Chains A and B, each alone.
Chain A
């Protein structure tokens, strides 16, 4: 026994195995820390009102109160806020995917004076604090009567996003030109080439951008906070903050946590579905490039 242990410490393969074990232990402990808040959230969401504020807390509710979710949905008008959010997210995704891939074709394939300068300016805007453009943009939307509509969230998406244009451009550069050239010989216009050749080839990168856009828009709090004032037009993100102190609900943490749990389901499902794009591939190549 003792010799087996000392071999573990002394030999090379033994050390390797110890390192692997230690790595695994550290990673698992870390993963527990990541997951505890979720566990706590779900646990609270299933408690009776009277069992929430007790110390020491129950880690697992004795009788899970599934009807908390029903109560949360009705009291918060969750359906209304979910459909507001869905409308915005879908429109922003369409706008972003169209404008980013369209513009990226110009930046990667067609030569024009000033093209690279425009691209550099575009990349530079990624470092611009949003606060600088915030006030004038708000005043502009206010002037044309778009405050308290979804337009301030949706319309800018149709004008491209610097990071996504960059990702698409990096991807288009890797596609061999032969395909386009033969299509060009057959009389196809550049617009045909973009739509019938480039777009179908960019499935994975479009999916990546779609996921990023979904997550970003769905979680966006600031934009709807400043532009939307009607309760019936609020997105989930904004509605949640009003849920907390609202007189209709009071400080009912179990209902709030039920609502929060529901609110994080769509991005989590999407993440699980698109996991390979995030953790295994495209995103990384894009960033590395």
Chain B
């Protein structure tokens, strides 16, 4: 209110006021603008340039055209790293999201101890990192690990998880499912945004639990599912710590994620040009998948405004 009065009294100084406001706005935004230029946009361009060059820190970058990309195309380990990351993403993202949604549905009710349970399920997210990765190494130990001990108790001889190329990736997927609490919490937030009256009305109309879930809950949390899916894909394609600490890409490159392959080329072989090219390939893959999800969203994501509009 006060602002409009002032503006009305001093109509001639409006341009000056706007300019001053804009100036202040830029001051406030300056950390972010500088950060974008120095730590994001600048490096993106430099990285594109480097991907067409040969650079190992000792000599100046040498322009070699598309050689890095050509070399990549013929590299068996590059295709292996793509295969590993793709397999991991295709399994762990839907699996993790399904389990997260299931847990969120169960945890979305008033019950004694419900906050404690939610906290327990969220706990792994808070401590994810090297410590937990080392713990998993020990858990998956073929002879003395807790998983095979439990399996032995029910009469199953567990595999030598981390040393068996057929099981190492499965072990990492199990690890990822353990840390599903963040996704669960976001689903829970979505579920709590559904007004109770809608389900009550549906129930009066004779809808069963499954129909309510299928025709009310799922559409009403579809924007949350969308959010989780995008973040899930982006995250899964960039997994590094678990793969580096638990299996270090092995055995026999069975867990050679793109990020691990890239790390080796950049910081062990000092192939900075090749690493930059790898990063750009990863970038393009992530962009295309994200775009695909965004493009598909009108088919399955419903927003409040649309519903009200109809």
Residues of A within 8 A of B (CB): 20, 23-24, 26-28, 30-31, 33-37, 40-41, 44, 52-57, 99, 102-103, 105-107, 110-113, 115, 118, 121-122, 125, 127-140, 142, 156, 158-160, 165, 177-178, 181-182, 184-185, 190-191, 194, 215, 218-222, 226, 237-238, 240-241, 244, 253, 256-257, 260, 263-264, 267-268, 270-272, 275, 278-280, 283-285, 287-288
Contact = CB atoms under 8 A, between A and B. Distances in A.
Nearest to B38: A159
B93 interface: no
Given A128-B283, A136-B43, A160-B32, A184 B120 contact: no
Interface centre among B2, B143, B282 (most CB of A within 10 A): B2
A219 B31 contact: no
Nearest to A286: B189
28 contacts: A23-B106, A23-B109, A27-B106, A33-B178, A37-B178, A56-B152, A57-B146, A105-B28, A107-B29, A128-B44, A131-B279, A131-B283, A132-B282, A134-B275, A135-B275, A137-B39, A140-B43, A159-B38, A181-B1, A220-B129, A221-B241, A237-B130, A240-B134, A267-B126, A268-B123, A270-B126, A271-B122, A284-B189
Contacts of B138: 40-41, 44, 253, 256-257
Contacts of B2: 181-182, 184-185
B131 A34 contact: no
Given A112-B22, A156-B39, A288-B189, A131 B238 contact: yes
A253 B141 CA distance: 11
Nearest to B280: A132
A240 B234 CA distance: 27
B65 interface: no
A134 B238 CA distance: 12
Interface stretch (B71-79, B110-118, B159-167): B110-118
Contact of A288 (B28, B152, B193): B193
Interface in B117-141: 117-124, 126-132, 134-136, 138-139
Interface of A is mostly: helix
B143 A129 contact: no
B32 A118 contact: yes
Nearest to B29: A106
A260 B134 contact: yes
A16 to B, nearest CB: 11
Contacts of A129: 234, 237-238, 279, 282-283, 286
A222 B241 contact: yes
B118 A279 contact: yes
B269 interface: no
Interface in B1-43: 1-3, 18, 21-36, 38-40, 42-43
Given A27-B107, A106-B25, A184-B2, A136 B126 contact: no
Interface stretch (B211-219, B259-267, B295-303): B259-267
Given A121-B36, A142-B57, A284-B185, A132 B279 contact: yes
**9 tightest CB-CB pairs across the interface, nearest first?**
A106-B28, A159-B35, A219-B129, A284-B189, A112-B25, A110-B25, A112-B22, A133-B43, A136-B46
A222 B107 CA distance: 34
Nearest to B188: A284
B43 A137 contact: yes
A283 B118 CA distance: 14
B50 interface: yes
A276 B68 CA distance: 50
Given A122-B36, A127-B234, A221-B129, A115 B120 contact: no
B101 interface: no
Given A36-B146, A37-B136, A268-B123, A283 B185 contact: yes
B227 interface: yes
B178 A34 contact: yes
Given A110-B22, A139-B272, A103 B29 contact: yes
Nearest to A226: B267
A260 B135 contact: yes
Contacts of B136: 37
A271 B279 contact: no
B230 interface: yes
Interface centre among A31, A127, A130 (most CB of B within 10 A): A127
